[in-house]
Amino acid sequence: MRVSDLMTREVCVANPQETIQQAARLMAGLDVGMLPVGDDDRLMGMITDRDIAIRGVAEGKAPLTKVSEIMSHAVRYCFADQEIDEVLQNMADIQVRRLPVIDRDKRLVGILALSDATTAATNGEAGEALAGISRPGGQHSQTG
């Protein structure tokens, strides 16, 4: 099974020039904790509720701070035509629950969440990915 079979295709994208307040309101309205950041369909970064809390509020940034100032620029992603078991293993290795999905022209085409994969996984891949994602430690940093 391929990522394109399971991914969510309708993805709201934050613009890097929007404010973190606008991004937070969009997240609240969509009931999500992360948004891809892009210009048109080009993925430029990611912003999470945690980014807003740690890189924004905790560092005294104003609500009118631009998304581009606190977003994560190093983005992990997968391709729409990849096999799901390969991507689930990668999600476990890098300890993430969601990945933006791009096509081979590097245009954003969706989001893959671990929960999307659990509905179709039949051989334990999703459980293995969750175990890997949930392990303590890892190279997580809110300072870079």
Q: What is the pLDDT of residues 16-69, one digit of tens each?
A: 999 999 999 999 999 999 999 998 778 999 999 999 999 999 999 999 999 999
Are 102 and 108 in contact by the 8 Å Cβ rule? The answer is yes
Domain assignment of residue 141, yes or no? no
Its pTM stands at 0.78
Domain assignment of residue 143, yes or no? no
- What is the domain count for the chain? 1
| pLDDT surpasses 70 at 124 | no
Domain assignment of residue 138, yes or no? no
Domain assignment of residue 91, yes or no? yes
Domain assignment of residue 96, yes or no? yes
Kindly indicate the confidence band of residue 119, based on its pLDDT and cuts at 50, 70 and 90. Answer: low
Domain of residue 16 covers: 3-133
CA distances from 3 to 43, 46, 142 (A): 18, 19, 28
